[in-house]
Amino acid sequence: RELLLFLFSLSVSSAIMCYVCHSDYNNDCWENYEGTEKGCERKNINGERLAAIGCRTLRITHGEERSIIRECAYTGEDVDDKVTRMSNKLYRSYTQCSKSKCNSSSSFFSLFSLGSLLLFALF
């Protein structure tokens, strides 16, 4: 019985922790997201039960409007600030990383992302 409890505690402690929030529902998701960390639970994706492989941050800009989503990542690979132009004024900046709570941001990263979006919009 103690062995089962020990193994369970190992599986829980080894689970990836990510910041999980959406700025459309929580304005603190931009800057004060530290209280949003959660353990990433297994998730059914395409009929397969997957463990989280990392964390991701998605920034969406549409003209003057912007959103940020921080979440657990179950598929994909590490990407550092990939910017995609979705339409005329719609841009997506995507980052994925493979460590716990790696979907935080710094002022440098935020400025870099904004600069990338502006540079991308010019071309």
Span 19-35, average pLDDT: 94
Rounded (5°) CA angle 91-95-96: 145
pLDDT at position 87 is 86
pLDDT digits over 36-59, tens only? 999 999 999 999 999 999 999 999
Span 63-67, average pLDDT: 92
pLDDT at position 5 is 43
pLDDT digits over 96-106, tens only? 999 999 999 75
